[in-house]
Amino acid sequence: MKIEVLTLFPNMFSAVMSESMMWKARDRGLLDFSACDIRDHSGDKHRKVDDSPYGGGGGMILKADVLLRAIDALEPAADTPVILMSPQGRTLTHAVALALSRRVRLILVCGHYEGVDERVRDLAITDEISIGDYVLTGGELAAMVLIDAVVRLIPGVLGAEGAEQRDSYADGLLEGPHYTRPPEVRGLTAPEVLTSGHHAEVEHWRRRQSLRRTWQRRPDLLEKADLSADDREYLAGLAAGEAD
Ligand code: ADE
């Protein structure tokens, strides 16, 4: 996958894109990443990229001509998503990340200041994504969140085969608890079933823990989850205060 980011602060991406899984994805040739400076397209000796809003009011607006030149320079294909990071966009979820992970190329546009001239949306933006109902000072951190969530879903990026399929949200449920050595920590022991060697029992226990955690913390997710008869019986037991 190729991801190109348009930003006023390309250096913000250096650390995040040069460590851990994002670096491995690049190193393995699974991700071609670049951060392009919008200022290079200002066409102005002062490298000006923003101006005050027509009609007055506070703040500065990213200029449409500059941003459109920056997007054009990347030569997006007709089907390349050109995504504006903005608190007004649709919310990033696992399903959105999964759909984006199947694309071969993404262009992410990071707004800054009060916003971007609306004509950029009208002429060049194909999608608009928010990472949550709060306002950041710019789209850069949001773009990095989106990149991380998407790139880890590209087959081959995560080491353990299919690890992403066990993620919270992957099957519509939250993950249950995890344990590792030592068996006892300050009087708390790891559940015995996990060291029993019975693979089927471990999977059954994990499924129930996942159901229990989702029921406790995000019961709204259970409405859309794919549940078996056994799952439903267990949840009914939890609701009746009979199961643990
Ligand atoms: N830019 C500013 N706030 C944002 C948010 N919540 N999501 C995406 N981009 C943003």
pLDDT-based confidence at residue 162 (cuts at 50, 70, 90): low
* 137 Cα nearest atom in ligand 1: 2
Predicted model pTM: 0.94
pLDDT at residue 164 tops 80? no
Where do the domains of the chain lie? 2-151, 168-239
% of the chain residues with pLDDT over 90: 92
85 lines ligand 1 (CB under 6 A): yes
Q: Which two tokens stand for residue 26?
A: 């690049």
Q: Which of 4, 50, 140, 152 is catalytic?
A: 152
Sequence-ordered list of residues with C-beta below 8 angstroms from that of 81, at least 6 positions apart, any chain:
100, 103, 105, 106, 107, 126, 127
Handedness of CA 36, 37, 42, 44 (dihedral sign): negative
CATH of 2-151, one of 3.40.1280.10, 3.90.280.10, 2.40.40.20, 3.20.20.150: 3.40.1280.10
Per-residue buried b or exposed e for 192-220, using 16+ beta carbons within 10 Å of the residue's own CB: eebeeeeeeeeeebbbbbbbbbbbeeeee
**In CATH terms, is domain 168-239 a member of 1.10.1270.20?**
yes
Q: Give the integer Cα–Cα distance in Å for 228 and 73.
A: 51
Nearest CA to ligand 1 atom 6: 87
Long-range contact set of residues 224-227: C-beta below 8 Å, sequence gap at least 24: 224/172, 225/171, 225/172, 225/173, 226/171, 226/172
Q: What is the pLDDT of the chain when averaged over all its residues? A: 95
Binning pLDDT at 50, 70 and 90, where does residue 232 land?
Answer: very high
- Residue 54 in this model has a pLDDT that exceeds 90: yes
Active site residue 50: no
Q: What pLDDT does residue 118 have?
A: 97
What is the pLDDT, as a whole number, of residue 113? Answer: 73
Ligand 1 pocket, residue 139 CB under 6 Å:
yes
pLDDT band for position 244 (50/70/90)? confident
Q: Verify whether residue 114 is a known catalytic residue.
A: yes
Mean pLDDT of 44-59: 94
Mean pLDDT across 79-93: 97
pLDDT given for residue 7 in this prediction = 98
Q: Model confidence over 91-114: pLDDT tens digits? A: 999 999 999 999 999 999 999 878
Q: Which of 150, 169, 153 is closest to 213 using CA atoms?
A: 169
